[in-house]
Amino acid sequence: MEKTRVLIIDDDKVLQDLLALYLKVEGFEVLKAADGRDGLQRLRDERVDLVLLDLMMPAMDGMAFVRALKETESPPRVLVLSAAGFGLIDRDLRAAGVRGVVRKPVAPADLVRHVRDALAGPV
C-alpha cells in the first residue's frame, strides 16, 4: 500500500525540515517546495494527498497558490500553517476549499492530528 504523501510548501527551510521529520516518524512520505510556484510544479510531477501550506512566501504566496490550485485537475487537500491571525483570512481560505488553518508554532502531536483530520472524510 502506498504511503500518504504530504507536500510541505514553506520558505523556511528549518521549519520545513522539522515538519517533515514529525510526519516521517508517523509514516507519511514527505515532499518539499520553497514557495507556491515550486509547489504547483511539484503537483504537476508528483501524486500528493495533502499540502501543508505557509501563507507568507516570496514568488507566490499561499492565497495565490490556493487560487491557482482550484484550476488544477484533482487538487489535493490543503491545510494552512500560519503565524498570522485568523479571522477573515481563515474564512476566505475555508471558502476556497482549505481543510483547516493551524497556528505556528505547532507541537508534533497536534500537527499529526490536524493532518489526519484534514485527510479524513470526503474529498
Cα gap 78→105, rounded to integer Å: 18
pLDDT in tens, 76-99: 999 999 877 656 567 778 777 889
With H, G, I as helix, E, B as strand and everything else as coil, classify residue 93.
Answer: helix
> What structural domains does the chain harbor?
5-119 (3.40.50.2300)
Cα gap 113→46, rounded to integer Å: 24
* pLDDT of res. 76: 95
Contact present, 56 and 84 (Cβ < 8 Å): yes
Res. 64 pLDDT band, cuts 50 70 90: very high
CA neighbor of 95 nearest in space, from 70, 59, 61, 58: 70
pTM for the model stands at: 0.92
Mean model confidence pLDDT for the chain:
90
Which position has the higher pLDDT, 86 or 52? 52
